[in-house]
Structure 1
Amino acid sequence: MNPISSRYAVPLSLCAEHSPEVVGGKAHNLGRLSAVGLSVPAGWSLTVDLWRAVQEETGLGSEIGRSLSAIQDNPVQTGVILRGLRDHILTAPLPDWVETLVASISEELLAAGPVIVRSSAPHEDGEIRSQAGIYESVPGNRNTQDVLTSIRAVWASLFTERALFYNGGQLPTSMAVIVQRDIKPHVAGVMFTCDPLTGAREPIVQFERASANAVTSGRGACREIRLRDLSGVAGEEDVPPLLTDALLRSASIAERLPGGPWDIEWVWDGDRLFLLQARRITSTEAARITSTWAFEEELSRIYKLDLGKCGDRLIKELRKKIWFRLFCLRKGLCTFRTIYVVYRRSDLPAIVKDISSQLSIPYLRVSWGDRTQRVHLSKLELALAQGMDCNRLADPAYAAAEISEIVPSDMIGFSTVLGDDSIVIEAYPGGAKGTKSGRWPATVYSYGRLGLETIDRPEYDQRAFFDSETMDWVTVDCERYTIDLDEKLAERVAQVTRQFCDAFGEVRLEWYIYNQEIYIKDLTVENQPLQCVPQAATVSPGVASGYAVCLDDISEYDELAERFMISVRHLDDGVASSELVAQTHDLCQQKPIIVVAEYPSIGLASIIQYVHGFVFERCPLLCHLAIILRERGIPAIVVANARSRISTGDSLQIGPDGLSVMPSLMTGTGGRSEEGVQ
């Protein structure tokens, strides 16, 4: 290695000589294992100093500082800001000397087969918290370019909601990276050098054939054995005597190291045991308490609770929802309440009594992570008791759940401040499904200096009501009717909308009206002001040209949205409609496409990677697809009865002046212009 390399890359076998602040906690512990004669796959630690040098030379350090400051200033943008920062890290060019260094340490490792790139943050695998599974590891890298891409992914994994939660609301910015041989396992698993619950000094092994991922992630049906029961005997076909002896020897040696007892990840390649990771068995005391936490309480306390599978739900809330609900509570605004609870069966009567005193609505959604149930408050104790097995914690006497109010709304709606300082309000009947997708037409109001003005008042032929027996909304056909937002409530909606826009920027607010109160449900922050006015034809500004693809029935896209939970912040470009791709295969391959549809189903977001623009017959300004199109810079306009005026294959141009159509050879010749009218 040249002189500059020794500062930035350290062999794993020597990492015990360097502090975790230099090589990271994971690499430091692997160095300690290697130093006492235990087998660790060959590899290197790319040091924290390397990451700092990259930040300085590429400007990433300044970008990180700006992003973290922006989160402090506007926490409801946490998810958006972190995603943008990760994208920046993943795409920023690296200095030439870094690429040369990575190539030099990877060359010998790659000659023996694939390598794995793993996180090694200074605080990872530490004595207080293990940080297990918080940061990225990327196996199967087969060339230097793969390794460089994976190194970026590890650095980027510093900036996730998961890291924010696990680090108590802070985002550490230091990271070392391990590059080492990726051992193909015959058997893999984890070994606890003592019982993590009782502290008994007898090694316990959880294992699975082929990969340890099923064990460490908790998703696999792994097996568990106590090694002393197998010592010197045959009987477990996947744990031969040679492996048993190697595990016992490794446990015995590791226990002599200061800082134990240890949780060790290992692989067996059929002949030899390799240790991949060693972390101190951290305390399970956080699980051994009964506790409830609601949004108005100090966040520092929820960070310390073991929530099991519900931790993932809270992590998603950290993207924005926790922050705007805290804002609601500070401003005296109504929002549906969410409570997290850690409980034992014997504590349930007292816990439910405490929860009941905090709730104002008796209809509840209870989640244990991957299972959700709707219950009435009167049946909450029974539901929590029956659901314990869905999310038991490290101490199996305890479980955790998330409890949220269900608001049986009289009206639901969206609102924002427009460029002329008026408030646009889009309202729908309470319980109407499909409002986010634009399937239901909106009753549109403008609230300005002259008070409330009705822009559009469609008739509805369905009503929804909340069934307290089934705990769900039921939609029924009915005679046509309209809805009305009285001026007093409209004024209140306008005031609340302006409060949020003043606090957080270009907010699109989602709310309920229940018992003449406004309940804030959600918000989306766009990256630029909404210059459109309610009666205009432009939904997303810009100009686009392409060939029309007319979709006569987009119910498939509504079903797609429900199946994959597509929304503004849960958008998967990889979910594409087989119907559209099959129907327009040639056009997709050769020509720009403009989709023509009745309304903006959020399911259409799944195919926007193929589309240059949209023409809708009706489209609320504040529906989810409209927000996504503006965010992505994809033009969209409204043209009444567009599908009767346009045929698939027509050449279209859309923009602020409306629509121009050049029919295909199959439908005629000559061009025509249509002015978009909403």
Structure 2
Amino acid sequence: MSAPVLTRSTFILPFSDPGCLDARAVGGKGKGLAEMTQAGLPVPPGFTVSAAAYRDFLDRGGLRERITALVAGVDLHDAACVERVSGTLEDLLTAQPLPDELAAEITTAYHALCDQLGVPGLAVAVRSSATAEDSVADSFAGEFETWVDITGADDVLAHVHRCYASVYASRVLHYALERGVDLAGVEMAVVVQKVVRARSAGVMFTLDPITGDRSRIVLESSWGLGLSVVGGEVTPDRYTVGKVGLHLQDKVLGAKRVEYRDGSGPVPVAEDRQREFCLRDEEALALAALAKTVERQHQAPQDIEFAVDEDLPDGRNLLLLQCRPETVWSGRERAPRFDGAAGLMSWITGSISSAASGQAPREAGHDHG
């Protein structure tokens, strides 16, 4: 398919645009999608509404000054105060209309995406991509909003506006205040992306999220869209893949009682499907191979969202929806392979003892990517 035809825009950056590689412009989510797109990885097409658009929005009608004054009066230790100020802030942001120029550019970009895919009224996901969201130091992942199955330019505009209002949602405000993060320094870019018709979806980590073992890739998946997995509504199927040689080490059936077929809410999963793994072994291995490529590209462990599109044929149906740095283990210092102060012989004897007990020496043989 040909790329969408867009004139140079003030606020819109397609994933294919080099400017979309700047996290300060499009947030961690937008940057991750652009990197995967421009590396030739399978990503549903879309575009970002840049953080510059959010800045322009805040500069209208004295909004920025009013927000600063309200946030300055928040008492972190008073939950009712946090809730009250959050509600006032969301009302302020909702009452301020999107600037006409921005609305026109989003409308043009959405219609271009519809034309690219040959689907009038294309269903898209509208996803918050805050500039601070995916930094390793202060991960806001999961704090901001995503909506799926949004159709028509007017609805897209309404949900971009809702992304802006979500910056000061009570849980975000409380999260930021607890960590000493100034939300005035958080800027909201927005991703608009074709919705995947997911047979199954989930997340994968290029290390074991429980132990930090980097010799493994771990996938967690359930039926339908990944909302049930990231929202903790199901116990997903779990697959563990050895990173060296990409072989399936283990798989554990989850409890997948609900699924999201679209953005309207969860529906029950039939009992026979609850007893089935939602990924075939070859799909789990192919996804792990993609994850390994993403980790190599970023030179750091990654947390990746994926989906299996039921509308696409085998071989083209595995799609990557998001990647971000893994934040739990990546910031930890890793133990050296041996303690130089203790001497090489002590490490050798320790390794022999580990081997005799059936345990691998710490860090030995790990493939980093």
What TM-score results when the alignment is normalised by the length of structure 2?
0.70
Q: CA deviation digits over 1:44-66, x for unaligned, max 9?
A: 11111111111213432233223
For residues 17 and 178 of structure 1, do their structure 2 counterparts lie closer, same or farther at Cα, with a shift above 3 Å needed?
closer
Task: Answer whether contact 2:13 2:20 (CA < 8 A) is retained.
Answer: no
Q: Are positions 1:266 and 2:306 aligned together?
A: yes
For residues 285 and 202 of structure 1, do their structure 2 counterparts lie closer, same or farther at Cα, with a shift above 3 Å needed?
closer
Measure, in 2, the Cα distance between the counterparts of 1:108 and 1:17: 17
Tell me the secondary structure at the aligned position of residue 179 of structure 1: strand
Q: 1:209 offset after TM fit, Å?
A: 0.7
Task: Answer whether contact 1:24 1:48 (CA < 8 A) is retained.
Answer: yes
Measure, in 1, the Cα distance between the counterparts of 2:86 and 2:157: 21
Q: Which has the higher contact order (CA 8 A, sep 6+)?
A: 2
Task: Answer whether contact 1:24 1:122 (CA < 8 A) is retained.
Answer: yes
The within-5 A match list for 1:292-303 is none
Task: Answer whether contact 1:197 1:284 (CA < 8 A) is retained.
Answer: no
Letter in 1 for 2:298: P
Q: CA deviation digits over 1:388-447, x for unaligned, max 9?
A: xxxxxxxxxxxxxxxxxxxxxxxxxxxxxxxxxxxxxxxxxxxxxxxxxxxxxxxxxxxx
Q: CA deviation digits over 1:493-529, x for unaligned, max 9?
A: xxxxxxxxxxxxxxxxxxxxxxxxxxxxxxxxxxxxx
Out of 91, 109, 112, the position equivalent to 1:108 is 112
Measure, in 2, the Cα distance between the counterparts of 1:120 and 1:279: 11
The residue aligned with 2:183 is 172
Task: Answer whether contact 1:16 1:30 (CA < 8 A) is retained.
Answer: no
Task: Answer whether contact 2:128 2:188 (CA < 8 A) is retained.
Answer: yes
Tell me the secondary structure at the aligned position of residue 178 of structure 1: strand
Max Rg structure:
1
Measure, in 1, the Cα distance between the counterparts of 2:147 and 2:202: 18
Out of 113, 116, 120, the position equivalent to 2:129 is 120
Out of 129, 146, 154, the position equivalent to 1:145 is 154
For residues 220 and 171 of structure 1, do their structure 2 counterparts lie closer, same or farther at Cα, with a shift above 3 Å needed?
farther
The residue aligned with 1:277 is 322
Out of 252, 272, 277, the position equivalent to 2:292 is 252
The within-5 A match list for 1:241-640 is 241-270=281-310, 271=313, 272-283=317-328
Measure, in 1, the Cα distance between the counterparts of 2:203 and 2:18: 22
For residues 15 and 74 of structure 1, do their structure 2 counterparts lie closer, same or farther at Cα, with a shift above 3 Å needed?
farther
Measure, in 2, the Cα distance between the counterparts of 1:263 and 1:12: 19
Q: Are positions 1:226 and 2:229 aligned together?
A: no
The residue aligned with 2:203 is 190
Segments of 5+ residues of structure 2 without an aligned counterpart are 1-5, 254-275, 333-369
For residues 181 and 161 of structure 1, do their structure 2 counterparts lie closer, same or farther at Cα, with a shift above 3 Å needed?
same
Q: 1:73 offset after TM fit, Å?
A: 11
Q: CA deviation digits over 1:596-626, x for unaligned, max 9?
A: xxxxxxxxxxxxxxxxxxxxxxxxxxxxxxx
Q: 1:171 offset after TM fit, Å?
A: 4.1
Letter in 2 for 1:164: L
For residues 73 and 249 of structure 1, do their structure 2 counterparts lie closer, same or farther at Cα, with a shift above 3 Å needed?
closer
Out of 59, 80, 93, the position equivalent to 1:56 is 59
Task: Answer whether contact 1:12 1:42 (CA < 8 A) is retained.
Answer: yes
Measure, in 1, the Cα distance between the counterparts of 2:226 and 2:69: 38
More strand by share: 1
Q: CA deviation digits over 1:72-95, x for unaligned, max 9?
A: 799663321210110221232222
The residue aligned with 1:209 is 223
The residue aligned with 2:86 is 82
Measure, in 1, the Cα distance between the counterparts of 2:138 and 2:18: 20
Measure, in 2, the Cα distance between the counterparts of 1:176 and 1:159: 14
For residues 259 and 66 of structure 1, do their structure 2 counterparts lie closer, same or farther at Cα, with a shift above 3 Å needed?
farther
Q: 1:129 offset after TM fit, Å?
A: 3.7
What TM-score results when the alignment is normalised by the length of structure 1?
0.39
Identity of aligned residues (%): 28
Segments of 5+ residues of structure 1 without an aligned counterpart are 288-678
Q: 1:204 offset after TM fit, Å?
A: 0.9
Measure, in 1, the Cα distance between the counterparts of 2:142 and 2:222: 18
Letter in 2 for 1:23: V
For residues 161 and 259 of structure 1, do their structure 2 counterparts lie closer, same or farther at Cα, with a shift above 3 Å needed?
farther
Measure, in 2, the Cα distance between the counterparts of 1:179 and 1:153: 13
Measure, in 1, the Cα distance between the counterparts of 2:25 and 2:331: 30
Q: CA deviation digits over 1:205-258, x for unaligned, max 9?
A: 100011211111112121111134549xxx975323552343022022112123
Measure, in 2, the Cα distance between the counterparts of 1:285 and 1:9: 32
The residue aligned with 2:266 is none
For residues 195 and 15 of structure 1, do their structure 2 counterparts lie closer, same or farther at Cα, with a shift above 3 Å needed?
farther
For residues 109 and 46 of structure 1, do their structure 2 counterparts lie closer, same or farther at Cα, with a shift above 3 Å needed?
same
Measure, in 1, the Cα distance between the counterparts of 2:72 and 2:204: 41
Task: Answer whether contact 2:45 2:193 (CA < 8 A) is retained.
Answer: yes
Letter in 1 for 2:87: R
